[in-house]
């Protein structure tokens, strides 16, 4: 895609590079760690969603021909909305439960990103940002609890 | 239309919404909700539920690239997320208590205002000096980014962090109430109030939206409004579109052109919201 990858200008790396102990010390750049977390989290989520959708169409061949099924699917109807329901469905190889599991992974990605940031700030001994990040993480977890209490 | 075809139609619209959303720093939910409800006759609750997950997908997908390029300011993002998550919680509480009409009217008015402010700034070419701010220094918010078009590192200073925090609280509340990413409110708050460069504002907004949306997604999931049949293809399509946008278009798009597009979109959404508030 790019014609000259070698001459591509590289932004300078940030000063805050952490080197973990060990013989094969690879420098850990916070930006790269966070970027990888986001990237792989999304990839796992989308794989589950795609797998689930494929399974659904294999198990319901009528979805390929019948337009009646669509009305049933887009009208209000109960959706699994407890963690236990989703896990049970995935165990029974129900396609839509795989999709739901993928969506839950997607929802968990930002929470994990904040948790990772907390570890990074702690390693950098940045106490002000450790405090800020802890509050953000607490608020996020509270919001999930509020949702659960309401549901 | 069969469910099979429906899945692909939803997927197609979602790719388009994700592409546009990533260029403008919004989640694409504003584009998707009307398409899903008006065109495809999806129940509004499921449309909003699908939108909120797609908002996380857009944010995470595009942010992965922005963070790698160090375009997003991670410290500004974390500091402001204090307000957006608190706001999202407030919004989730309020959504059951305030009537839809008032929400739409306030929302439309806020958006119209920010569009007009951006429009005014677009005409003035000279850049005013950024005022000194002790708190911004203390928080270490200043940063720099790599400008592809000029080929050099551009430094910038940040100001008025508390005003930014206040605006982010409002943005978070709107996000929690309406199930959108509300990047349309976050970008002007950083761009105009805190004086971050537009590209950095857009990237940082994208990065923050995921956390704000996650705070409200929990509530929508518990209410059973996240339907895998609709949210699944939306999620995949929007991520694909956002990836294409941030990967292949962001660096090539001119900032003033981006701003003009953004202002047009803001005005359109504002009118849509006001109309909906007026007629409902």
- pLDDT 10s digits, B94-107: 766 665 566 667 66
How many A/B residue pairs have CB atoms within 8 Å? 207
Average predicted confidence (pLDDT) for chain B? 79
Distance from C-alpha of B154 to C-alpha of B198, rounded to nearest angstrom: 12
Among the listed residues B79, B78, B88, the one whose alpha carbon sits nearest the alpha carbon of residue B162: B79
The answer to whether residue A52 sits within a structural domain is yes
Token pair of B27 as six digits: 């989640």
Q: Contact A113/A38 with Cβ under 8 angstroms?
A: yes
More confident call, B249 vs A34? A34
Q: Is some CB atom of chain A closer than 8 A to the CB atom of B165?
A: no
Residue numbers of the domain that contains B51: 3-279
**DSSP state, residue B155:** E
Q: Contact B180/B19 with Cβ under 8 angstroms?
A: no
Q: How many domains does chain B have?
A: 1
| Mean pLDDT of the region B186-213 | 85
Q: Contact A139/A60 with Cβ under 8 angstroms?
A: no
CB contacts, 8 Å: B45 with chain A: 76
Residue numbers of the domain that contains A87: 30-150
Angle B162-B114-B101 (CA atoms, 0-180°, nearest 5)?
100
Q: Would you state the pLDDT for residue A23?
A: 44
CA atoms within 13 A on the CB side of B260: 6
Q: Would you state the pLDDT for residue A116?
A: 92
Q: Is the pLDDT of residue A83 over 80?
A: no
The answer to whether residue A16 sits within a structural domain is no
Rounded to a whole number of angstroms, the distance between the first and last alpha carbons of chain B is 30
Q: Would you state the pLDDT for residue A133?
A: 94
Point out the residue among B63, B68, B86 whose CB comes nearest to the CB of A32: B68
Check CB contact under 8 Å for A107 and B89.
no
Distance from C-alpha of A92 to C-alpha of A107, rounded to nearest angstrom: 23
The answer to whether residue A124 sits within a structural domain is yes
Q: Is the pLDDT of residue A98 over 80?
A: yes
Among the listed residues B56, B66, B26, the one whose alpha carbon sits nearest the alpha carbon of residue B266: B26
More confident call, B34 vs A13? B34
The CA-atom distances, in angstroms, between B150 and each of A48, B74, B118, B201, B259 are: 41, 23, 24, 18, 18
Distance from C-alpha of A144 to C-alpha of B205, rounded to nearest angstrom: 22
Q: Would you state the pLDDT for residue B128?
A: 67
More confident call, B9 vs A29? B9
Q: Is the pLDDT of residue A65 over 50?
A: yes
B190 CB-near residues (< 8 Å, 6+ apart): B76, B80, B164, B196, B200, B201, B204, B205
Confidence grade of residue A90 (pLDDT, cut at 50, 70, 90): low
Confidence grade of residue B187 (pLDDT, cut at 50, 70, 90): confident
Q: Contact A61/A18 with Cβ under 8 angstroms?
A: no
Token pair of B131 as six digits: 């005022």
Query: Which residue, among A10, A51, A70, would best test binding to B if mutated, counting the most B CBs under 10 Å from its CB?
Result: A70
Token pair of B207 as six digits: 């990065």
Give the three-state DSSP class for B156: strand
Distance from C-alpha of B146 to C-alpha of A31, rounded to nearest angstrom: 14
**C-alpha dihedral sign at B197, B198, B203, B209:** positive
Q: Is the pLDDT of residue A115 over 90?
A: yes
Q: Is the pLDDT of residue B121 over 80?
A: no
CB contacts, 8 Å: B247 with chain A: none
A82 CB-near residues (< 8 Å, 6+ apart): A151
The CA-atom distances, in angstroms, between B38 and each of A70, B41, B47, B261 are: 16, 6, 10, 24
Q: Is the pLDDT of residue A137 over 90?
A: yes
| Mean pLDDT of the region B6-26 | 80
Q: Contact B119/B265 with Cβ under 8 angstroms?
A: no
Chain B, residues 66-125, CB within 8 A of chain A, namely 67-70, 74-75, 78-79, 81-82, 85-86, 88-89, 92-93
Q: Is the pLDDT of residue B73 over 60?
A: yes
Q: How far is B215 from chain A (nearest CA, A)?
A: 5
Q: Contact B191/B201 with Cβ under 8 angstroms?
A: yes
The answer to whether residue A108 sits within a structural domain is yes
Q: How many domains does chain A have?
A: 1
The answer to whether residue A1 sits within a structural domain is no
Backbone angles phi, psi at B158, to 5 degrees: -110, 145
Give one DSSP letter per residue of B116-139, joined into a string: HHHHHHHH--SPPPPPP-HHHHHH
**C-alpha dihedral sign at B123, B125, B131, B133:** positive
Q: Would you state the pLDDT for residue B105?
A: 73
């Amino acid at each position: 895609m790019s014609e000259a990858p070698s001459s591509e200008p590289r932004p300078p790396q940030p000063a805050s590079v952490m080197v973990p102990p060990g013989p094969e010390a690879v420098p850990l750049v916070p930006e790269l760690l966070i970027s990888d977390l986001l990237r792989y989290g999304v990839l796992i989520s989308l794989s589950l969603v795609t797998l689930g959708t494929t399974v659904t169409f294999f198990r319901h061949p009528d979805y390929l021909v019948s337009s009646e099924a669509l009305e049933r699917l887009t009208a209000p109807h109960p959706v699994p909305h407890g963690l236990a329901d989703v896990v049970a469905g995935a165990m029974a190889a129900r396609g839509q439960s795989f999709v739901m599991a993928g969506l839950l992974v997607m929802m968990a990605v930002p929470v994990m990103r904040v948790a990772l940031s907390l570890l990074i700030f702690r390693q950098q001994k940045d106490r002000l940002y450790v405090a800020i990040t802890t509050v953000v993480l607490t608020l996020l977890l509270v919001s999930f609890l509020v949702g659960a209490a309401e549901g | 239309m069969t469910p099979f075809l429906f899945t692909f139609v939803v997927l197609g619209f979602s790719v388009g919404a994700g592409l546009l959303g990533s260029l403008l720093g919004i989640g694409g939910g504003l584009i998707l909700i009307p398409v899903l409800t008006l065109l495809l006759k999806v129940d509004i609750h499921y449309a909003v539920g699908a939108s909120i997950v797609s908002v996380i997908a857009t944010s995470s997908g595009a942010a992965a690239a922005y963070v790698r390029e160090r375009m997003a300011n991670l410290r500004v993002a974390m500091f402001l997320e204090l307000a957006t998550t608190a706001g999202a919680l407030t919004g989730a509480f309020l959504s059951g208590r305030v009537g839809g009409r008032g929400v739409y009217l306030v929302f439309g008015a806020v958006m119209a205002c920010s569009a007009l402010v951006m429009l005014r700034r677009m005409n003035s070419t000279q850049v005013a000096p950024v005022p000194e701010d002790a708190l911004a220094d203390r928080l270490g918010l200043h940063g720099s980014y790599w400008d592809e078009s000029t080929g050099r590192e551009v430094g910038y200073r940040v100001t008025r962090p508390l005003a930014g925090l206040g605006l982010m609280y409002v943005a978070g509340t709107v996000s929690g109430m309406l199930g959108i990413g509300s990047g349309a409110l976050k970008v002007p708050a950083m761009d105009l109030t805190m004086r971050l460069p537009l590209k950095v504002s857009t990237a940082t907004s994208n990065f923050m939206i995921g956390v704000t949306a996650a705070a409200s997604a929990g509530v929508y999931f518990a209410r059973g409004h996240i339907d895998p049949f609709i949210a699944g293809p939306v999620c995949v399509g929007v991520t694909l579109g956002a990836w294409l946008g941030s990967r292949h278009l962001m660096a090539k798009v001119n900032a003033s052109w981006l701003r003009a597009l953004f202002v047009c979109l803001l005005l359109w959404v504002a009118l849509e919201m006001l109309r909906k508030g007026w007629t409902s």
